[in-house]
Chain A
């Protein structure tokens, strides 16, 4: 079909194209440092009311009902819309008054009486009274599985008794020492009684009325959520320095799924702050017109959870050797941020009653190899150990960022363990966990109370290890009933030590949240569970 003139030579088109594309792309991608808006040196340190703060989140999980959310981004939004009975001081971990001025806990921690303040109202003006609190707790229980966190806190809930307009008593069938801290979480945040009549879908869409400093102004799925301040709000917790209404008029949460787009947007001033800047991009926001604030998430650290009914994970020598063979500091130095910490206990250091387990989690490859040698695992030709014809090869199933585990895999290969990485989507990972078809699980659980240890590890609770009850479970269960902090702390620490010694828990590193914001943002900080707190935040008006 093509007519050819004789003697015509074709220019090497592919090479031309490759060169052209190379030039284009290389030109675009020379390393640049963050070009954030250069803030003037002296900024007034007096808070200014008004303005909008744009805070980027990574995903819209289609629900912003505080009593139903479980995803960090949704929590960042939902937390601002509700007040809770109590609050937790982010520095001391102490439970302080919020909507409840005072409380009494029965000796066996199965009955809690709260005395509410008399001036708090929901955003629609209805008073926060004992009856409305009862409505809330009953509704959470009725939500069932969709209120996954809340129903966990209310396990054994028998009912709420209303004594008078300002007094109520919550009763449990069994001791529940964690409930006081639970009452400070967003999952047990209070919504107006009218909200309990809505369907779960309507509540997810943001139609509810809350008790917090902000309320939902608009919610465009997958795009952005806008919160507006509640006028007349005046019942802040004792953990907040600020009182009265929030400073900001609105907080906008645009949804930006791509990591490099979030970094670029912050650097170019298209957003004001975010908590989702990748570790490698963070250095450009350390100064230069920006600031960083990091806090370790309280609760159980990121760790490998062996399922001890699977062949290799049932061998204690293997488990402990794996724990010894992980160089936690190297992981932190290589793939995490400057201020991240390796795990030094099963709980992270920002959890109340945390205690460092010292050498129990030191990097000890020689000790690991000794353990495996003594157990009869012989190094094979490919560097992986074998025993009775079986290779020391096992799998960890997870959905999170694989970089830390890639390093763990590398480190374990040096002691002769082959750790295979099964990286799946969240949906698939829940299915796999439920079917029980895995060797090692991997996640963290953020909770500012040591009860999370019992919840996960006790053979009488979730029993993540799928094992029979041992001495450690007795300690864990007793910690659920201990009301004296010192006694509770002792039980928890002893239990943690046993968990690590027997390889039931293999902590790796602490999850932390880092806020990256431009210098015009002030007062944005963390609350007790390392969740974001916009109540005291304000922006410099340009």
Chain B
């Protein structure tokens, strides 16, 4: 679904200042960046202040997570039952985001929908992360025929269009947030596998790890202590990126009719359900849509920050 572009620099361009640099090169493939002075907290604070976009992204995601955990704090109404006489009212003081075709308050439904949407999205990313990383780890670490087999598996997953895969899975297993999550997550496996494999290849071929292996450490120690921690940077960045992608994928599935059944609110079905009213009651689709855009943008911003943090080590 997405692509990242980290890669090794040719050796003649790396300057080795001292032993720490050498160690860093062996470990991460690059020399260290000069660290600013001061305590870690101060450094972090200064780092963030220079990046208000990142702060905003973090706040957005925190807010949405708060909606998911304690929706009644933010919206006290009933997301399921509405007053039919109040249908299709535009945004106002009484109804921040207007009402829908059955008179339900859209703000309440968006807030209460956060829980289901985030759960679905998180599950999808977890499925992709766990299965994909496991596959990538195996392929990159063990190499040889395992690498070939995993490579073919990933190819097959990529060969079938993800929409088709999702549709077929949902049709076979039935609708429902869990199945939607699985269907979307399966589409993300290939990307995670590829990134993890590339990272594992890079770290496990480093001299440090070869040395550790040669000195007799068990392979799982090598894996757990050396390979995994150093491979995780880009993968974490991918998690944030795929999070945004999963939100969009769920809404696309809702558009095609494979969303959460009514009356449960969920962002994807909110904006795809509201599209028939685009000309007459635009707030039904647009405002939940803006929420999705904000979440995806924030996730992507955090992904970028995670990538560059990994590079700055």
Contact = CB atoms under 8 A, between A and B. Distances in A.
B262 interface: yes
Contacts of A435: none
A334 B100 CA distance: 11
A402 B282 contact: no
Given A14-B53, A263-B279, A422 B297 contact: no
B293 A18 contact: yes
Given A18-B294, A18-B297, A10 B52 contact: yes
A17 interface: yes
A2, A259, A410 interface centre (most CB from chain B within 10 Å): A410
A123 to B, nearest CB: 38
A14 B263 contact: no
A2 B53 contact: no
Contact of B282 (A1, A2, A14, A29): A29
A25 B52 contact: no
Interface string A235-273: 000000000000000000000001110011000000000
B308 interface: yes
Contacts of B102: 334-335, 403, 406-407, 410
A335 B289 contact: no
Nearest to B30: A1
Nearest to B291: A18
B278 interface: yes
A260 B279 contact: yes
A134 B286 CA distance: 58
Interface string A115-144: 000000000000000000000000000000
B290 A22 contact: yes
Contacts of B261: 402, 421-423
Contacts of B183: none
A14 B60 contact: yes
B276 A14 contact: no
Contacts of B293: 17-18, 21
A486 interface: no
Interface in B255-285: 257, 261-263, 275-283, 285
A402 B262 contact: yes
A14 B290 contact: no
Contacts of A409: 263
B174 to A, nearest CB: 8
B52, B281, B285 interface centre (most CB from chain A within 10 Å): B52
Contacts of B27: none
Interface string B17-56: 0000000000000000000000000000000001111101
B48 to A, nearest CB: 11
B210 interface: no
Contact of A425 (B171, B283, B290, B297): B171
Contact of B279 (A8, A31, A402): A31
B165 to A, nearest CB: 17
Contacts of B87: 334
A1 B276 contact: no
User: How extensive is the interface on chain B, given as a class?
Assistant: 35 or more
A413 interface: yes
A281 B279 contact: yes
Interface in A400-421: 402-403, 406-407, 409-410, 413, 421
Nearest to B88: A280
B160 to A, nearest CB: 20
Interface in B170-196: 171, 174-175
Contact of B53 (A15, A258, A428): A15
Interface residues of A, number: 48
A281 B50 CA distance: 49
Given A2-B308, A280-B276, A280-B277, A17 B101 contact: no
B298 interface: yes
A427 to B, nearest CB: 8
Interface string B50-69: 11111011001000000000
A29, A422, A423 interface centre (most CB from chain B within 10 Å): A29
Contacts of A421: 261-263
A148 interface: no
B6 interface: yes
Nearest to A1: B311
Contacts of B281: 31, 280
Contacts of A335: 101-102
B229 interface: no
A264 B279 contact: yes
B103 interface: yes
Interface string A4-31: 0000111111110110011001101111
B101 A14 contact: no
A447 B174 CA distance: 32
A413 B81 contact: yes
A94 interface: no
B37 to A, nearest CB: 14
B197 interface: no
Contacts of B294: 14, 18
Contacts of B90: 31
B14 to A, nearest CB: 13
Contacts of B50: 8-10
B301 A13 contact: yes
A22 B174 CA distance: 35
B286 A1 contact: no
A406 B60 CA distance: 32
B199 to A, nearest CB: 15
A308 to B, nearest CB: 25
A258 B178 CA distance: 27
Interface in A173-227: none
A158 interface: no
A365 to B, nearest CB: 15
12 contacts: A12-B53, A13-B301, A14-B60, A14-B297, A18-B297, A21-B293, A28-B282, A260-B279, A281-B280, A334-B103, A403-B102, A410-B102
Closest CB pairs A-B (n = 4): A29-B282, A334-B84, A12-B53, A14-B297
